[in-house]
Chain A
Amino acid sequence: MDFAGAFTAANLKYMMQGLGVTLEIAIWSIALSFLFGTLIAILRYARIPVLSQVLMAFVEMIRNLPLLLIIFFTFFAIPEVMNLNLTPIQAAIAALSIFEAAMISEIVRAGLNSIPKGQVEAARSSGLGYVQTLRHIVLPQALRKMVPPLVSQFISLIKDTTLTTVIAIEELLRSAQIVYSQKQDYVFPMLILAALTFFVINYALSLVAGRLERRFQV
């Protein structure tokens, strides 16, 4: 194990670039999957005939497939049949967003369903429209309950960005791999550095989640 040899300025800079790619993919995917996940959950919650069932089938299918397969499929198969050209980064963000949106929609749906139906009825009978009821009564309460599971889902997402290595994206773990493929003595230092970087980001996120959870408790 050669820590001094592995952690040269050039290698560390290379790792920082990898971290940049990881964060780019993670932030885009978190934003998009949260948006689409919430949309899917609200559409399912509203019980719109046919659409709700189609969304349910979609969510169940995606949730039960390995993410690795979805990444592969999005990058290699979708462009082939749809005549689309995706860069690896776009494909990675698309795949992660689709997969995590399915997971997040279940979290949001559980949150929405945890609000007693009586409250919706009460709001509706006091003259609020359906959208107003969702906006002012159901969502604010549901969001509080959703914070802890949402944050753990985002942590999973950050970890899952490493899977994009299969479509040759130079994210953090792949950067580490490229460095340690030069010399066996670099394997452990680089793996430890990559692991610690993920740990610091994710652990910090989970601490923030814990604090938010306590603040939201009414």
Chain B
Amino acid sequence: MIDFTILTTYQDEYLKGFMTTIEASLLGLVGSFIIGVIIAVFRISSVRPLRWFGTAYVEFLRNIPLLITVFVFYHGLPVLHINLSGFASGTLGLAVYTSAFIAEAIRAGINAVPKGQMEAGRSSGLTYIQTMRYVILPQAIKVVIPPLGNQFINLVKNSSILGVVAGLDLMYFGDTINSETFDVFSTYIFVGLFYLVLTIPLSLFVGYLERRLARAY
């Protein structure tokens, strides 16, 4: 039922797609982390308009489909005479979409540290930044790491969206291989296995981190 020769015949395509999927996931992670930190800072800031902007950003992006953010870059930017490749628009869309979830995870982590600790830090003469750096963040990070790990797993899975915009990832090459072999079943079984090679170890690792950090707290 499964034709294993497909794997050997098209190993170059599978590997290219696999590497692109990893690349898009890593770039997406870095991008969404940077934006996510900025938005999280906005959301806990004492400046009201910044807080509003942060809240609007998170609430809006969390409630719209990923494909819309990708299409804004893929179909929207050309209207403004900016042409990006499928890979670039897919990865950008992925980063912007995921940043809302990361911002929320970071904010939840910071809020998990009791307010009294900030007050205590400030009254013992530490500045706001110092209190954040030495008191709040080291504790918050323990709460933040497991959800961040889960977001990364989602990123790897969501990177399959690149297949829709010709982003040269695993899904895209699955399509090209399929158009030559006409064996949908075998072709996509191998595509699925390549995804599982990435996501199963990640899931196990995140599960391990969750248990470890829960014990340490």
Contact = CB atoms under 8 A, between A and B. Distances in A.
B160 A73 contact: no
Main SS class of interface, B:
helix
Given A73-B192, A160-B65, A163-B67, A191 B184 contact: no
B68 interface: yes
B199 A64 contact: yes
A66 B161 CA distance: 9
B171 A69 contact: yes
B76 A191 contact: yes
Contacts of B153: 64
B209 interface: no
Nearest to B153: A64
Nearest to A81: B185
B121 to A, nearest CB: 31
B164 A64 contact: no
Contacts of B185: 77, 80-81
Contact of A198 (B1, B64, B75): B64
Interface in B35-86: 59-60, 62-68, 71-72, 75-76, 78-79
Contacts of B195: 64-66, 69
B72 to A, nearest CB: 6
Contacts of A63: 203
B68 A194 contact: yes
Interface in A125-157: 155
B189 to A, nearest CB: 8
Contacts of B159: 66
Contacts of B1: 81
Interface stretch (A29-37, A48-56, A115-123, A199-207): A199-207
B184 A66 contact: no
Interface in B187-203: 188, 191-192, 195-196, 199-200, 203
A187 interface: yes
A76 B185 CA distance: 8
B63 A188 contact: no
B159 to A, nearest CB: 8
A184 B59 contact: no
A155 B184 CA distance: 30
Contact of B203 (A60, A155, A159, A162): A60
B164 to A, nearest CB: 6
Interface in B150-177: 153, 157-161, 163-164, 171, 174
A173 B157 contact: no
A151 B200 CA distance: 25
A17 B72 CA distance: 22
B63 A64 contact: no
A94 B174 CA distance: 21
A187 B84 CA distance: 16
A188 B199 CA distance: 35
A11 interface: no
A206 B63 contact: yes
A81 B1 CA distance: 8
A158 B78 CA distance: 28
Contacts of B161: 68, 163
Interface of B: 1, 59-60, 62-68, 71-72, 75-76, 78-79, 153, 157-161, 163-164, 171, 174, 184-185, 188, 191-192, 195-196, 199-200, 203
Interface of A: 1, 60-61, 63-69, 72-73, 76-77, 80-81, 155, 159-163, 165-166, 173, 177, 180, 184-185, 187-188, 191, 194-195, 198-199, 202-203, 206
9 contacts: A60-B203, A66-B157, A80-B184, A160-B65, A166-B163, A173-B67, A188-B76, A188-B79, A191-B68
